[in-house]
Amino acid sequence: MKIWILMNDKAKSGFYSEHGFSVLTEVNGKKILFDTGQSDLFLKNVEKLDLNLLDLDAVVISHGHYDHGNGLEFLLKKIGPKKIYVGDGFFNLRYSGEKYAGIKHNRIFYERIGGNFEIVQNDLEIFKGVKIITAAPLKTSKYSEKKFKIGSKKEQDLFDDELYLFIESSDGAIVLTGCSHRGIVNIIFHLSKKGKIKTVIGGFHLLNKTNEELLQISNLLNDFQIDVLYPCHCTGDIAIDIFKKNLKTKICECLAGSVFEF
């Protein structure tokens, strides 16, 4: 199994970065793109890595925020029609304060340029050993993200559309998460019921947490005995430093342009 970090907030020398996330994984001959960043920059990193996305088997978008899904427009225009898995509520209008934070276009626009959407409402095995897991239950709201969406009234966005990729292997699962808005502790607790987790890659959305909260999260994550964490995107440097000092788990740097084999 191989994973390429196509987009992250930080990059290796010679690669592009932006506030966004995108990962390509190849498992048992199947190529799956997880998130698309916020622009076409992830495609420029694809070129630098000498990768071909024309033979993608599936696209999974973790949730309906611009920094994970706005690159979809550029992907479809470049490679043509593709199957795209999104959660129920992906196209909701989303705001962070008064700033629009959702996907740039509506479903009709993406379908016109080749998007073939499947709305995932229940856990789904898309290929042997590769599962899309739907939003983790809010066991505790203490560590979940609080943002808002605009409908007929302003209300808390519970990120019901959040999806995770659960990739099985002989010595434990590899988990991909986009932003972990439902709370990284909730997510790992939920996914650990499905089998041993050896690796987690993605954004943990801990930028606004206090040091005390980060220490509490570290203690809770230690209980799951994960082998390696690759904190990316919205995790935050302070959280990563605290994890390195307090987690028994190995913490690895995750930069756009990185390639990992498992």
Residue 140 has pLDDT above 70, yes or no: no
Nearest-CA neighbor of 169 among 120, 202, 131, 204?
A: 131
| pLDDT, position 138 | 79
Q: Which is more confidently placed, 64 or 139?
A: 64
Range of the domain at 113: 2-261
Q: Which is more confidently placed, 145 or 113?
A: 113
Banded model confidence at residue 43, pLDDT cuts 50, 70, 90? very high
Residue 37 has pLDDT above 90, yes or no: yes
Residue 256 has pLDDT above 80, yes or no: yes
* Range 25-31 average pLDDT: 97
By DSSP bridging, strand 82-87 and strand 115-120 are parallel
Q: Which residues contact 156 (CB under 8 A, 6 or more apart)?
A: 146, 147, 148, 149
Q: Indicate which CATH number applies to the domain containing 249.
A: 3.60.15.10
| pLDDT, position 142 | 56
Q: Looking at 75-89, 103-117, 130-144, 191-205, which range is the least confident one?
A: 130-144
Average pLDDT along the chain: 94
Banded model confidence at residue 235, pLDDT cuts 50, 70, 90? very high
Q: What is the pLDDT of residues 151-186, one digit of tens each?
A: 556 777 889 999 999 999 999 999 999 999 999 999
Q: What is the pLDDT of residues 74-122, one digit of tens each?
A: 999 999 999 999 999 999 988 887 788 999 999 999 999 999 999 999 9
CA distance 110 to 197: 34
Q: Looking at 53-62, 66-75, 149-158, which range is the least confident one?
A: 149-158
Question: Longest Cα pair distance anywhere in the chain, in angstroms?
Answer: 49
| pLDDT, position 137 | 87
**How many structural domains comprise the chain?**
1
